[in-house]
Structure 1
Amino acid sequence: MVVAQRGVIPPPKHYADSAWFKYILSCCAATTAELVTYPLDLAKTRLQIQGEKGLNSNGLQPYRGLAGTGVGIIREEGALKLWQGITPAVYRHLIYSGTRMVLYEKVRDHLFTTRPDGTRPVWQAIVGGILVGGIAQFLASPADLVKVQMQMEGRRRLEGKPPRVHSAGEAFIKIYQAGGMRGLWKGCMPNVYRSALVNLGDLTTYDSVKRYFVNSWGLPDTYWTHALSSTLSGLVSAVLGCPADVVKARIMNQPTDSKSRGLLYRNSADCFLKTVRNEGFWALYKGFVPCWLRMGPWSLTFWITYEQIRNACGTSAF
C-alpha cells in the first residue's frame, strides 16, 4: 500500500481541520476498530467476571484463557454471540472516541508547550490524556453500562437465570426505570478511572512516541510509524487499565436493589479490596491477555485508520 507522506498532500479543504469534521473521522475509525476487535472484548469481560464471590455458576465449567473462552461461547451460544452488545459499544465510541480525540487535540495545540524540535513535555501529555479520557468516559458511561450487561446475557441464560434485556434500547429503558438518571451512571467512577488510565496509555503514549520517532529518530510520518507507535500504546494501555477494567466490569455487572445500590460491592474501592482478598492480587489482571490482545489490535486498527482517513481527507496530521 502506498501511503502519502505528510507535508506533500494537497492543501486541506476549508472544513478538513474543523473540530466537527475531526469528530466524525475519529468516530469512523473507532467504529472500525470496535467491529474488528469486539469478540476479544467480550471474552475479556467474561473472564474478568467469572469466579467472583456471590455469583452462581450452576455447575458450568469456567472459561480457560482467550481461545477457550471464544470456543466456549461459540459452542454454547453460537458464533454471532461473539458480537453480543456491539450496538451500545458503537454508541459509546460515538461519544467517547469523538470527544476524547477532539478535546485532546484542542488541549494539546492550545495549552501544551512546543519545543524547538517539535516535541512537547511528557507531563503535559499525561495530564491532558488523563483529563480528556475521564471527561469523555463520564459522558459515555451509560452506553458502557448497557454494553457490559448485554455481554453477560448469554452466560446468564446458561446459568439458568432469566434474561435481563434483549436489546440495547430495552436495556437503557429498564436501567432508567429502575434507578433513574443515577442508575444510568452505575459504575461511573471506576469507569472514569479506567478510561483515564487507558487514555494515558493509548492516546498519550501514541502521541508522545510518534513525535519522538518522527522528530528525534527522523522516521517518516507513514503507515509503519503509525503501526509501531500504536503497538506500544496498546501494551501500555493494557498494563495500566486492566485492574480498573476488572473493577469496572464487576461493579457494572453486579445485581442492584430497588434503590440502584450494588448488592456485592459498595463502591470501586470495596470491589478492589474484596477481589484481592477473595481471589488474590492477580485477580485484578484476570483477562489481561485478551485485554492486551484486544487493546493492541484495537489501537493498531484505530490509529492506522484514523491517520489514513485524515490523510485522505486533507486533514492535518494528528
Structure 2
Amino acid sequence: MASNRKTKEPFWLGGAAACMAVCFTHPLDQTKYRMQVLKSQTSMFNVMYRFASRDGITSLWTGLSASILRQGSYSTARFGIHTALSEQVLKHTGQSKISLPWNIACAGVAGGIAGVIGNPAEVALVRMCADGAKPQAQRFGYSNAVHAMVRVAQDEGFQAFGKGITANIARSVLMNVSQIATYASAKQYLVGSAGLGDDIKTHTIASLAAGTMATTICAPADVLKSRLQASAGKEGLLTVLRSGLREEGVRFLMRGWTPAWLRLTPHTVLTFVFMEKLRQLTTIGIPWLQTGRVSSQKAELR
C-alpha cells in the first residue's frame, strides 16, 4: 500500500501551506507594513488599536486577498523551485540527504527567482495594507487584489510592478536562505542529536528558530522594499536609503522588527507545520527536510 504513494513533493505544497498560514497572520503583516511606512515612533500595539478602533476589527484583514495572491505566487515559487533544485542536487551527488552548503545555494537561487515572480502581488499588498495609514487624498483605494493589479497597470504601466524589485529580490534570497536553512538544520539537530521525535513539537521549535533568524536578517531589505513599493513616486533604492538615514538614523532599517517578528514567526511556524502535515498526505519525504529518522522510516515503508 505504501509503495503506491507518491514520493515527490507537489510543486504547490509550500504555497498552499503559506496561503493557509497568512489567513491567521495577516493583521500582523498589515501592521508591519503600516509601521514601516509611518515615520512616527508608535508601538505595534498602539498602531493596531488605533486602526481597529477607527475602522473596526475586520479592517485588520484589509488586503488579505493581496496577501493570499502574494503567497500563492511567491511562496509557491520559493518552496517549489527549492525542492526541484534539491532533487537535482541529490541526483547529481548521489547522496540521500542534501548538505547544508547545497541547501543554502538552492534556497538562494529559489528565493531570487521567487522575488521576481512575487513582486507584482507584493506591490499590491504593500499599497493595500499601507492605505489605511495615509490621508484620504493619498490613498490608492484598491478594493481587492485583482482591482489593485488592474489599476496599477492602467495608471502607472506594467513597469510599476517592478517597483522595489531589487530590494525584494535581496529580501527573498535572505528570507529563503535564513528560513529554510535554519529550519532544516534545527530540525535535523533536534531529531538526530537531541533525541526529539519528528513531530509537531519539533517542527514548532525549529520554526521558531527559523522565524527569528529570518526576521533579523531580512529587516533592512524589508523596510526599504516597503517604502519603495508604498510610494507612487520615482524614488530609487539609494534615494530612499539616504533619506531614511538622514531623517531617522540607522535604526530606521530595523523599524517594524517587533511586528515583523510577531508576524513572521507565527507565519513560519504555521507554514512549516501545515507543510509537514500536507507532506504526510501527499508524499513520503522532502529531500531538504529529511533526517536520519525520517529516512529510516521511509525505508521501512518501502
TM range (shorter): 0.7 to 0.9
Shift of 1:314: 4.3
2:245 to 268, 272, 276: 276
> What is the aligned partner in structure 2 of residue 46 from structure 1?
34
1:141 to 92, 95, 119: 119
2:22 pairs with 1:34? yes
1:230-272 Cα shifts (integer Å, max 9, x gaps): 110000000011111100000001122xxxxx1xx22x23322
Query: Which blocks of at least 5 consecutive residues in structure 2 are unaligned?
Result: 290-302
Q: Which amino acid aligns with 1:193?
A: A
Shift of 1:75: 1.0
> What is the aligned partner in structure 2 of residue 188 from structure 1?
165
> What is the aligned partner in structure 2 of residue 57 from structure 1?
none
Report the number of matched residues.
286
Distance change (3 Å), C-alpha of 1:298 and 1:236 = same
Return the alpha-carbon distance in structure 2 between the equivalents of residues 248 and 143 of structure 1: 13
The percent of aligned pairs where both chains have the same amino acid is 26
Moved more, 97-106 or 62-71: 62-71
CA RMSD of aligned residues (A): 2.2
Return the alpha-carbon distance in structure 2 between the equivalents of residues 169 and 291 of structure 1: 25
Shift of 1:151: 0.8
Bigger helix share: 2
Structure 1 residue ranges (4+ consecutive) displaced by more than 4 angstroms after TM superposition: 112-116
> What is the aligned partner in structure 2 of residue 89 from structure 1?
67
1:193-243 Cα shifts (integer Å, max 9, x gaps): 111111112112112221233234343221111111111000000001111
1:48-105 Cα shifts (integer Å, max 9, x gaps): 1111xxxxxxxxxx56212111101101222111111110111111111111112111
Return the alpha-carbon distance in structure 2 between the equivalents of residues 140 and 314 of structure 1: 26
> What is the aligned partner in structure 2 of residue 228 from structure 1?
205
Give the secondary structure class of the aligned counterpart of 1:165.
coil
Q: Which amino acid aligns with 2:80?
A: V
2:265 pairs with 1:296? yes
Do the aligned partners of 1:63 and 1:69 also contact (CA within 8 Å) in 2?
A: no
1:278-315 Cα shifts (integer Å, max 9, x gaps): 21111111110010111110000010111012113344
Do the aligned partners of 2:16 and 2:76 also contact (CA within 8 Å) in 1?
A: no
Q: Which amino acid aligns with 2:259?
A: P
Shift of 1:114: 7.1
Moved more, 141-150 or 306-315: 306-315
Return the alpha-carbon distance in structure 1 between the equivalents of residues 11 and 86 of structure 2: 16
> What is the aligned partner in structure 2 of residue 151 from structure 1?
129
Do the aligned partners of 2:112 and 2:169 also contact (CA within 8 Å) in 1?
A: yes
Shift of 1:179: 3.2
> What is the aligned partner in structure 2 of residue 11 from structure 1?
2
Give the secondary structure class of the aligned counterpart of 1:23.
coil
> What is the aligned partner in structure 1 of residue 292 from structure 2?
none
Moved more, 34-43 or 77-86: 77-86
> What is the aligned partner in structure 1 of residue 88 from structure 2?
110
Return the alpha-carbon distance in structure 1 between the equivalents of residues 142 and 254 of structure 2: 28
1:4-56 Cα shifts (integer Å, max 9, x gaps): xxxxxx62645x3445xx233322211111011111111111111111xxxxx
TM-score (norm 2): 0.87
Return the alpha-carbon distance in structure 2 between the equivalents of residues 73 and 129 of structure 1: 37
1:85-130 Cα shifts (integer Å, max 9, x gaps): 11011111111111111211122232158798x6643322222211
Residues 206-245 of structure 1 mapped to structure 2, 5 A cutoff: 206-245=183-222
> What is the aligned partner in structure 2 of residue 165 from structure 1?
142
> What is the aligned partner in structure 1 of residue 295 from structure 2?
none
Do the aligned partners of 1:11 and 1:314 also contact (CA within 8 Å) in 2?
A: no
2:238 pairs with 1:285? no
TM-score (norm 1): 0.83
Distance change (3 Å), C-alpha of 1:123 and 1:25 = closer
Return the alpha-carbon distance in structure 2 between the equivalents of residues 283 and 98 of structure 1: 30
Moved more, 33-42 or 271-280: 271-280
